[in-house]
Amino acid sequence: MENYSKLLDRLKEITHLGRAGAVLGWDQQCYMPPGGAEERSEEFAVIGKFTHELFTASETQKLLEGAEAEVTNLSPDADERLTLRMVRRDFDQAVKIPSALVSELAREEGLAHEIWVKARQDSDWKQFAPKLEKLLDLSRQKAEYLGYTDRIYDALLDQYEPGRTSAEVEMVFNNLRPGLVKLVHDIATAPPISDACLRRDFDEEAQKAFSEYVIGRLGYDFTRGRQDKAVHPFCTSFGRNDVRITTRYEKNWLPSSLMGSIHETGHALYEQGFAPGDDGSPLSNSASLGIHESQSRLWENIVGRSRSFWNIFYPELQQRFPGVLDNISLNDFYRAINRVEPSFIRVEADEVTYNLHIMLRFELEQAMMDGSLKVNDVPEAWNEKMRSYLGIVPENDAQGCLQDVHWSAALFGYF
Ligand code: CO
């Protein structure tokens, strides 16, 4: 198994380089001053180029072929064969893409982040549109290199959800959409449930302390992770022993940080839970983005909105915000935290309306990618879909098409 072990050593080096890039990405979203964007983008470009060149080098190919020959007698579900199947898939895709394109994409993503932050702050789509156009153009090039049989979007979707096609996803969504739209409508016309108790004054420091207490109890290991503040909540991993999450706070809307922290903890528990011996190998990667999101939404919705969860945590919550929830019963709080109501922000949406937010993005991304929707027309298309699926229209771009960080990182096909 000489080739196999040499190949793993080489992959570990590549993984370490990639993780160093991930640390820089985390820093950009959490601490970097806006002035650092250009320099940081060059760093991303260099790391992107070197990792890609190391991975696609003929040396990797030789080791991969040698390793494949070494494992033919092993059982098909042996770790070595599973590993090589993943490496083969990634390798065959990576060699199709020129490293100049990889590094240009990395650079443009680095630059786009700050532009998105500013555009969102000013709620001005026009500031972001030219950068998005550029990222779409580079992503189309990438998709063409990767190849596809049906739609261009499939090439990108496949990166996050291996083997899945737009047509298959569309079939699922088309089956779900009419029922969901009706359900949302029925709930909206039923007697309202008040969530006013969640909109009282919740001190930011106390929110931070409470959410860290909750996620610690859920099993998030703070000796192998930390939580910081960022414009957009996310989870990132530099190995199973350093998995970080971010959140954001709103004084008058408790679920923003609390449910966001629980959601990101679901992602983090998955990453912190990879087998210790697999660290740095392809087996310590998520199976797909859908699997990843199933973990976060399990903790956020099935656990974090359950009665048994709040039986335990509500007395603690009341205690940590003296005077704020004194006259609210557990039952009223439980109803409030489960309230379903069409809202603008996807990451803060309840579990019924959330799926419609995903469908909206999936449809707009496909249309942007195949060119049928022009970048300048995105705000209007976004608002139109919000009206038809959720019955509400954002008042501005920050509440609408500028809310998510993902397009600034060229994450198309990601949802
Ligand atoms: Co998530």
CA of 267 to the centre of ligand 1 (A): 7
Distance between CA 23 and CA 237 in Å, rounded? 9
- pLDDT, average across residues 143-149: 97
CA of 169 to the centre of ligand 1 (A): 18
3-state secondary structure of 410: coil
CA of 265 to the centre of ligand 1 (A): 9
CA of 293 to the centre of ligand 1 (A): 5
pLDDT for position 280: 86
CA of 245 to the centre of ligand 1 (A): 11
Distance between CA 28 and CA 44 in Å, rounded? 11
Q: Where are the alpha helices (DSSP H) in 298-397?
A: 307-320, 330-337, 354-369, 378-390
Contact (Cβ atoms closer than 8 angstroms) between residue 329 and residue 297: no
Interval 354-388: pLDDT, tens: 999 999 999 999 999 999 999 999 999 999 999 99
Q: Which residue has the tokens 């985390």?
A: 26
Interval 292-318: pLDDT, tens: 999 999 999 999 999 999 999 999 999
3-state secondary structure of 46: helix
Q: Given a cut of 90, is residue 165 above it in pLDDT?
A: yes
CA of 242 to the centre of ligand 1 (A): 18
DSSP annotation of 154 reads: H
Interval 241-282: pLDDT, tens: 999 999 999 999 999 999 999 999 999 999 999 999 898 889
Distance between CA 305 and CA 286 in Å, rounded? 25
Closest C-alpha to 63, from 24, 15, 6, 18: 6
Whole-structure pTM value: 0.93
- pLDDT, average across residues 43-67: 97
CA of 254 to the centre of ligand 1 (A): 18
Closest C-alpha to 415, from 342, 352, 340, 347: 347
pLDDT for position 279: 87
CA of 78 to the centre of ligand 1 (A): 30
Contact (Cβ atoms closer than 8 angstroms) between residue 20 and residue 47: yes
Distance between CA 48 and CA 120 in Å, rounded? 27
CA of 292 to the centre of ligand 1 (A): 7
Contact (Cβ atoms closer than 8 angstroms) between residue 283 and residue 83: yes
3-state secondary structure of 119: helix
CA of 353 to the centre of ligand 1 (A): 15
Half-sphere exposure of 64 (CA within 13 A, CB side): 19
Distance between CA 291 and CA 14 in Å, rounded? 24
Closest C-alpha to 146, from 198, 105, 86, 98: 98
CA of 234 to the centre of ligand 1 (A): 7
CA of 75 to the centre of ligand 1 (A): 34
- pLDDT, average across residues 127-155: 97
CA of 300 to the centre of ligand 1 (A): 10
Taken in order 224, 229, 231, 233, the sign of the CA dihedral is positive
Phi, psi (deg, nearest 5) at residue 244: -110, 150
Distance between CA 198 and CA 273 in Å, rounded? 32
Q: Which residue has the tokens 């302390």?
A: 209
CA of 268 to the centre of ligand 1 (A): 10
Which is catalytic among the residues 43, 68, 264, 300?
264
- pLDDT, average across residues 96-119: 96
- pLDDT, average across residues 143-159: 96
- For the chain, give the mean pLDDT: 96
Taken in order 396, 398, 401, 402, the sign of the CA dihedral is positive
pLDDT for position 415: 81
3-state secondary structure of 274: coil
Active site residue 264: yes
- pLDDT, average across residues 341-362: 94
Closest C-alpha to 294, from 282, 302, 305, 283: 302
Instruction: Return the percentage of the chain with pLDDT > 90, whole number.
Output: 96
Contacts of 216 (CB under 8 A, 6+ apart): 222
